[in-house]
Chain A
Amino acid sequence: MPKITYIEFDGTEHTVEVRNGLTVMEGAIKNNVPGIDADCGGACACATCHVYVDEAWREKTGSASAMEESMLDFAQNVEPNSRLSCQIKVTDQLDGLIVRMPEEQH
């Protein structure tokens, strides 16, 4: 199973195994990783699963859809590597992925 490292705003690291086909958001929620709220459960409806994708992984995680871009536009502290983690599907290609969490999701 691909391993994903989630780094909280305070630097705390969580490396967990996430099954292929789940989203990066679901990987955090199912493993009790704090820092991702995911209020809408993955419908791209709330922008509370905001993460910063590590530079080395930006290409492999692809780019945001127009819908995701619009949602991110109104999130706090958005950077060029900001993504909604519910929109990133886990595959073998993402084994080793590193994402960082913002200070807050609201």
Chain B
Amino acid sequence: MHLGVRATRIDRQARQVALDDGQVLSYDALILATGARARRLALPGGEMARTLELRTAADAEMLKAGIAPGKRLVIVGGGYVGLEVAASARALGAEALVVEREPRILARVAHPVLSDFFTAYHSKNGVRFVLDAFVEALEGEGGQVTAVRLNDGTRVPCDLVLIGVGALPNQELAEEAGLECDGGVLVDVAARTSDPVIFAIGDVTRRPLPLYRRMFRLESVPNALEQAKQAAAAITGHKPPPPEVPWFWSDQYDLKLQIAGLPFDIDDVVVRGDPASARFAVFHMKGDAIQAVEAINSPAEFMGGKLLIGAQKPVSRERLADPAVSMKEVAT
């Protein structure tokens, strides 16, 4: 293991990787797992202290150190990172204000039923939202942020700013080596790049999703694990893992959100259960097949939905919409 060093260059001809401490490593197979980095906003004042992002353990430590009862936290971006931090901040007694550019939170990643539900649940827990708005600048004193200025001129005083507006793949090393990249390092179902002895896994890749017949960049723990299995199987000559149903989760307050599949090519949704009970699931349908499920405090809907998505098995919408029919029964 070489810790505290960076790989600076891949020499594909010689099959060698150069490190920034001068060492050169030879390889028979190479795996790129360089991940993604937080997207930065070019905001005036954005370089000030107490303007944080959340990608690494060190980021999390800094964030935790800054959150305390009464502290005012502004969160830029109403995605999963922003919402999870908002929930944690409230639990620790801090104030949380979420600024989201779109007219609804989770706009890019979730169904409006879910956006509405999370907005209501967070509001009930004291989180404030400014939607359809963006931060124009950060203001501060002595290099420390003290307020954000919104696009309508509103000035919001704060003690801490968290920016959670997405991630960018760390694909520079691959690009410089001439590997094919397009919003991520392009790989096949075995996690192989355009060079047959170089593999890439995790957030840095754009990979095929056989179930959905397209390429996509997934940012999730299960995806990183799955591609690790694909690459390991290919390199060691073992049987590849079966095609998986991508899945995700998010814990906020006492809510467990579990998502299986991706809502591509959908016609409409079937909602099972009542959002007001904080226990429901949104099934994204393509005809009578489930493409994705977003399940709140509904593990059976998640597990059953995941099975049905993988099997691409048609289901009865009436039965799916009826919580009196168990997911086991729906799935068989």
A binds B: yes
Which residues of A line the B interface, CB within 8 A?
A: 37, 39-41, 43-47, 67, 70-71, 73-75, 106
- The answer, yes or no, to whether B60 is at the interface (CB within 8 Å) is no
Question: Which of B30-38, B70-78, B118-126, B298-306 lies at the binding interface?
Answer: B298-306
Interface size range on B against A: 20 to 34
Q: In the complex, which residues of chain A have a beta carbon less than 8 angstroms from the beta carbon of B256?
A: 43-45, 67
- Whole-angstrom distance from the CB of A72 to the nearest CB of chain B? 9
Q: In the complex, which residues of chain A have a beta carbon less than 8 angstroms from the beta carbon of B251?
A: 43
- The answer, yes or no, to whether B307 is at the interface (CB within 8 Å) is yes
Fill in one digit per residue for B290-332: 1 if any A CB lies within 8 Å of its CB, else 0.
0000000111100110110000000000000000000110000
- The answer, yes or no, to whether B129 is at the interface (CB within 8 Å) is no
Q: In the complex, which residues of chain B have a beta carbon less than 8 angstroms from the beta carbon of A70?
A: 298-300, 303
Report how far A102 CA is from B129 CA in the complex, Å.
46
- Whole-angstrom distance from the CB of B257 to the nearest CB of chain A? 9
Secondary structure class of chain B's binding surface, majority of residues: helix
Assess the A45–B258 pair: CB atoms within 8 A: yes
Report how far A46 CA is from B300 CA in the complex, Å.
11
- Whole-angstrom distance from the CB of B49 to the nearest CB of chain A? 31
- Which listed residue, B241, B249, B307, touches A45 by the CB 8 Å rule? B249
- Whole-angstrom distance from the CB of A79 to the nearest CB of chain B? 17
Assess the B222–A46 pair: CB atoms within 8 A: yes
B222 closest partner in A (C-beta): A39
- Whole-angstrom distance from the CB of A68 to the nearest CB of chain B? 8
